[in-house]
Structure 1
Amino acid sequence: MELEKLSATEEGEMLGNGNHLSGLNTEKMMLNEGFETTESTAAEFDEFLPQHATKKQIKFTDFEGKTSLGMSVFNLSNAIMGSGILGLAYAMSNTGIVVFVILLICIAMLSAYSIHLLLRSAGFVGIRAYEQLGHKAFGQPGKIVAAVIISLHNIGAMSSYLYIVKYELPLVIQAFLLLRESNGMWYMNGNYLILIVSILIILPLALMRQLGYLGYTSGFSLSCMVFFLIALVYKRFQVPCPLPVYGNETQHSQIVYSKIENHTIEEECTAKLFTINPQTAYTIPILAFAFVCHPEVLPIYTELRSPTKLRMQRVANISIAAMFVMYLITALFGYLTFYGSVETELLHTFNRVDPLDRLILCVRLAVLIAVTLTVPVVLFPIRRAIQQLLFAKKEFHWLRHTVIAIVLLICVNLLVIFVPNIRDIFGIIGATSAPSLIFILPGLFYVRIVPNDREPLKSRSKIQAIIFAAAGFIFMIMSLSFIFKDWSSGDGGSRISGH
């Protein structure tokens, strides 16, 4: 029996070597031609790395992927989980539980399908760089557009994370010191704190050469968010409705209370299954932004051990499913805790519970740790985009690797320090980058890159990709229309939060 198994295995290896011989030759051509192949050669293979070849495989990157599937799941989940998670309870309050759940399921499925298109496009040409896919599909303009969109979106995401650090960390320190008001010391200044956090925590992690090493910090970041969810579920049964007033309320909270006075307690403390109001239209953009992780997909794929499209799709599906559960729990229990009183940022709503509550303090600290450890993961695609644009033919160099990270952190810190309110800028960037990364670019890449002799333009797969890209354009126009309508009505800017 063992001899029969051995013979079958050897026969399979011989067949595998024969089937992938042309793929190996094509890979060599790609390395010589700067990751570019013609459509005829691209059609010769469908996977990045042959699974049964006995010789050492030629890689498309300058190092061999060694990240396990579990660590890759942690990294991609951490990339998905952005600051948008704090706005999901507010989104549920403006749609109702049933509509929110339906929309959340749809967006999660569309995000998984989008990653499928991205991986399929990459598989036909053996490219694992978003910018190079843009170059393959539309030449140099496509490469530039992809790099710019990725950079703008991730800079906006990094800024939103540091904004949370800037405004929440002083409150955490104040609560630890049992102070009712800020004492004016330097360690209560958010601008100084983000500089300290950037230098001591973010920069060392951002200097790592491989994204896979951040799987450990990503896992810890996700653990902090799990603690946040547990505390949120516990507080659901502790926080009374309507909310009590503690000491000095912020101006924003006073406005909320004045609106609540016009409703009965029963109306304000009852969960709604279906709700339609002027803010309902913002739910889809908020949910879409919460699932943007596409710039990180190909870098994570590059560093995945034994990479195949099926294996990377499994990483994406597990990550999206995990984030779906976390998002649903956060939105549901955040909404059932505060009902109609929930604010656009869930942490800010907790300020109206006892500000010195120790559990709430630990929750805020956990969220701060989570968003801080996410910044280095988001920085990697920006650095990769810059390298693809300016240093595509250059070998890896530590000095260039370090300088780009430092410059990016300096720019983001300056943006957070000197721009007091860039919510509208985030709204414009998010309304254009999110649909581009989720819908438009993956759909167009698939239509342009996959050879017509393999899948004709009238095939079901390409028609679906075209419809998918068209839906992205519609979504972009819709989001921008809501933002401009807010501006014209003087509501104070878009409530669409960044990733």
Structure 2
Amino acid sequence: MEATRLDPFNKPNRSIEHLIDIDVTMTVQSAVERSPFLRPSNPRLIKKAQQSQITKTQERKSSLLGAYTNLCNVTMGAGIVGMPYAIKEAGLVPGTVMIIICAFLTDYSLRQLISVGKVADVNSYETLMEASFGRPGFIFLSVNMFLLSLGSMIAYLIIIKDTLPVLLQVAPDDEDTKRMIMFISSLFIILPLSMQRDISDLEKTSKFNVILNTIMVSLVAGFSPIKESVSASGGIMQLLSDEKILDISTFFIGFGVCSFAFVCQDSSFIIAGSMSKPTKFRWKKVTQGAMLTCVILELTMGVSGYLAYQKNAVGNILNNMNTHHWSGVASRSILCATMFFAYPINLYIGRHACMVLFFKGVSAHEGDDARVLARRDRRIILTLVLYISSLLPAIFLEKTGNVLAATGAIGGSSLAYIGPGASFLAVWGHLFLDLVRSRWHDPSRRCYGFPRKDGQQNETAIEANEETSIGDVFFWFALGMPIWCSVARIGEKQLAAHFEREMLISPGIIKPRRVSVNPIRTGTPMVHTQLIPPSKLIPGGSLETSSLLDPNSATIYGSSQDNPQDKEMQPMDRIDSFTSVEVKIEMDKTVPTIMEFWVAIGYIILGLVAMIFGLGSIIVQH
């Protein structure tokens, strides 16, 4: 009776594969009834037809190496040729440290995003922000994802416009010919590559791109006039002594370029979900390997390019190299090839952002690109619109450095720093608020925004503690606690509403157990179950869901504690019950430490400062 009340149709939920099987079978049967000549001669034909229907919407998966090269490809892109310009703006020592720190912050945030996404039970960056901050968070993230992708595509086309005509011996002042070469080359090379549906289809080009970037960095480091330039400056020690330790007026321009070069958080869920065996352990190997590769290549490019050309370094360092020497010609040729191969993967991310913003339905909202873009007309139209949107600005813009800095200041800061920090603080908001209450106890009204517990009367609390110390009040506001507590409270409420919606949407048989709101409020780690044992199934295939929906239920099936050795190897991506019968288990059951909360707050502050000062520096400089 309880199952009947929960399911008005009194029918068990079925997976999409089962529905497709029924549809294909009915189609074959109706064809047989219409004409005996259509009767299949072999029963295997029916099975083949069923499998073909299913595989049309299944995403092709990437290997561990493919995910690594895709992450390297989307991380480096055009930013690698802007590293000398970033060091010029930030300074040699600060710029070098900046590149290393950006790589470390990127690696940490990539893994933290997936871990927090598991806690919130989401499978994309934008739905993580929606679970944390509602619809405004979803739009904020999706718009910045689109802006960063569009800025990247514009920068790639500008670099092609600057580089390819030089190889074809076009006069430097012949702008019309340059634009025509850029248009024709992108039309016949970039556009066909961008029409692919799945990101795994770009796996081979990404592998090739990593090799080309390595060769290009080696050419710049090996054939740039580093010795001559450093000797003309009086040696390396004299060069360091002549530089300012930190020039705030230009540092954040370089930081914007560096953020642009390393930002790849917008593709974290996409690449992680494209892995054939998506586990936390394998994703860690991918991120660490990719960031190590990127920091070595970009640091080598940045330092060698800056030492060779110093204050004359431009946004595209290859424009500084000798156009008549074979190394300059080879470097430009490789750069053009890398831009052709890096553009499609960024268009894929921009297309994903457009899909979740403008298309309706669960598949689009959840970011299931393979299913939504299985329709060829949708994929072609979106790809053409994005291609034209990047082509038109690239025709008229000239300076790559400004595009990299502005895009990094806005989109890079939002995606790489503000988004990961804010989502972590929101998803673990209940624990953060408990830590705040344990530290500040029950202060008086002078601590504005103090998180009172539900039902607690402010007047009673104030009367009980009128003597709040001046030090507590000072640190409360100096640390910005009213802001962080507000973010945590919003996240606590939005996450509770998110889980309630999810339980109402999918209370069915195959759906992994949704933890009720009560454990989230009390700090109990979220746990997903494996398939429910047969003893929990009632006749007819329906699920006895009363125990699953009971907030006080302590029954947990298939906990990863059953096999501690496999804890790090549990599935990482969210597998929806309507597309697969595979079951995911929550991996990260550790409660966040105080330091992790301060790191998240530091990410938010860093993103806000980088955005404000980055845009301000660009405006002042021009």
Q: Which residue, out of 356, 366, 390, partners 1:388? A: 356
SS for the counterpart of 1:81 is helix
1:133 is displaced (CA, Å) by 1.5
State the alpha-carbon separation in 2 of the partners of residues 237 and 273 from structure 1: 18
SS for the counterpart of 1:214 is helix
Change over 3 Å in CA distance of 1:210–1:75 after alignment to 2: same
Match of 1:304 in 2: 275
Change over 3 Å in CA distance of 1:436–1:76 after alignment to 2: same
Say whether residues 1:205 and 2:205 are aligned partners: no
Q: Which residue, out of 471, 474, 481, partners 2:609? A: 474
Q: Which residue, out of 305, 308, 313, partners 1:334? A: 305
1:471 is displaced (CA, Å) by 2.4
Match of 1:361 in 2: 329
1:88 is displaced (CA, Å) by 1.7
Of stretches 338-347 and 271-280 in structure 1, the one that deviates more from structure 2 is 271-280
State the alpha-carbon separation in 1 of the partners of residues 173 and 405 from structure 2: 34
Match of 1:283 in 2: 254
State the alpha-carbon separation in 1 of the partners of residues 89 and 181 from structure 2: 34
Query: Identical aligned pairs, as a percentage?
Result: 24
1:93 is displaced (CA, Å) by 4.1
Q: Is residue 117–residue 443 contact of structure 1 (8 Å, CA) maintained in 2?
A: no
SS for the counterpart of 1:209 is coil
Match of 1:404 in 2: 382
SS for the counterpart of 2:197 is coil
Change over 3 Å in CA distance of 1:142–1:182 after alignment to 2: closer
Change over 3 Å in CA distance of 1:239–1:189 after alignment to 2: farther
Change over 3 Å in CA distance of 1:325–1:158 after alignment to 2: same
Match of 1:346 in 2: 317
Match of 2:127 in 1: 132
Q: CA RMSD in A?
A: 3.1
Q: Is residue 259–residue 409 contact of structure 2 (8 Å, CA) maintained in 1?
A: no
Change over 3 Å in CA distance of 1:334–1:429 after alignment to 2: closer
State the alpha-carbon separation in 1 of the partners of residues 592 and 598 from structure 2: 7
1:206 is displaced (CA, Å) by 1.2
1:295 is displaced (CA, Å) by 1.2
Match of 1:465 in 2: 600
1:78 is displaced (CA, Å) by 0.6
Amino acid aligned to 1:382: G
Once the two structures are superposed, the pairs formed by residues 58-97 of structure 1 within 5 Å of their partners are: 63=58, 66-97=61-92
1:203 is displaced (CA, Å) by 1.6
State the alpha-carbon separation in 1 of the partners of residues 201 and 387 from structure 2: 20
State the alpha-carbon separation in 2 of the partners of residues 146 and 414 from structure 1: 25
Say whether residues 1:217 and 2:182 are aligned partners: no
1:201 is displaced (CA, Å) by 1.3
SS for the counterpart of 1:279 is helix
Change over 3 Å in CA distance of 1:471–1:364 after alignment to 2: same
State the alpha-carbon separation in 1 of the partners of residues 14 and 408 from structure 2: 38
Match of 1:151 in 2: 146
State the alpha-carbon separation in 2 of the partners of residues 271 and 65 from structure 1: 55
Q: Which residue, out of 218, 222, 244, partners 1:234? A: 222
Q: Which residue, out of 408, 412, 425, partners 1:434? A: 412
Q: Which digits, 9 at most, give the CA deviation of each residue in 1:409-435, with x for residues without a partner?
A: 011112212455686566444312111
SS for the counterpart of 1:159 is helix
Q: Which digits, 9 at most, give the CA deviation of each residue in 1:183-215, with x for residues without a partner?
A: 96x9x8122222222221112211111101211
Amino acid aligned to 1:357: H
Amino acid aligned to 1:226: T
Q: Which residue, out of 315, 319, 323, partners 2:286? A: 315
State the alpha-carbon separation in 2 of the partners of residues 426 and 341 from structure 1: 18
State the alpha-carbon separation in 2 of the partners of residues 93 and 128 from structure 1: 39
Of stretches 453-462 and 227-236 in structure 1, the one that deviates more from structure 2 is 453-462
Match of 2:569 in 1: none
1:113 is displaced (CA, Å) by 1.6
Of stretches 61-70 and 383-392 in structure 1, the one that deviates more from structure 2 is 61-70
Once the two structures are superposed, the pairs formed by residues 116-195 of structure 1 within 5 Å of their partners are: 116-174=111-169, 181=171, 189-195=177-183
TM-score (norm 2): 0.59
Q: Which digits, 9 at most, give the CA deviation of each residue in 1:126-185, with x for residues without a partner?
A: 3222221222112222111111110011101100000011121111110xxxx7x4696x
Change over 3 Å in CA distance of 1:233–1:484 after alignment to 2: closer
Match of 2:295 in 1: 324
Change over 3 Å in CA distance of 1:87–1:271 after alignment to 2: farther
Change over 3 Å in CA distance of 1:282–1:386 after alignment to 2: closer
Q: Is residue 151–residue 385 contact of structure 1 (8 Å, CA) maintained in 2?
A: yes
**Structure 1: 5+ residue stretches without partners:** 1-27, 32-58, 243-263, 487-492, 494-499
- Tell me which structure has the larger Cα radius of gyration: 2
Higher RCO by CA contacts (8 Å cutoff, separation 6 or greater) = 1
Q: Which digits, 9 at most, give the CA deviation of each residue in 1:354-387, with x for residues without a partner?
A: x222221111010111112100010111111111
State the alpha-carbon separation in 2 of the partners of residues 132 and 113 from structure 1: 20
Change over 3 Å in CA distance of 1:346–1:147 after alignment to 2: same
Of stretches 313-322 and 192-201 in structure 1, the one that deviates more from structure 2 is 192-201
Q: Is residue 260–residue 407 contact of structure 2 (8 Å, CA) maintained in 1?
A: no
Q: Is residue 447–residue 457 contact of structure 1 (8 Å, CA) maintained in 2?
A: no
SS for the counterpart of 2:123 is coil
**Structure 2: 5+ residue stretches without partners:** 1-12, 17-53, 364-370, 429-519, 526-590
Q: Which residue, out of 272, 276, 285, partners 2:239? A: 272
SS for the counterpart of 2:239 is coil
State the alpha-carbon separation in 1 of the partners of residues 136 and 194 from structure 2: 28
Paired residues, number: 401
State the alpha-carbon separation in 2 of the partners of residues 420 and 363 from structure 1: 20
Once the two structures are superposed, the pairs formed by residues 33-112 of structure 1 within 5 Å of their partners are: 63=58, 66-112=61-107
State the alpha-carbon separation in 1 of the partners of residues 596 and 226 from structure 2: 50
1:96 is displaced (CA, Å) by 5.0
1:310 is displaced (CA, Å) by 2.7
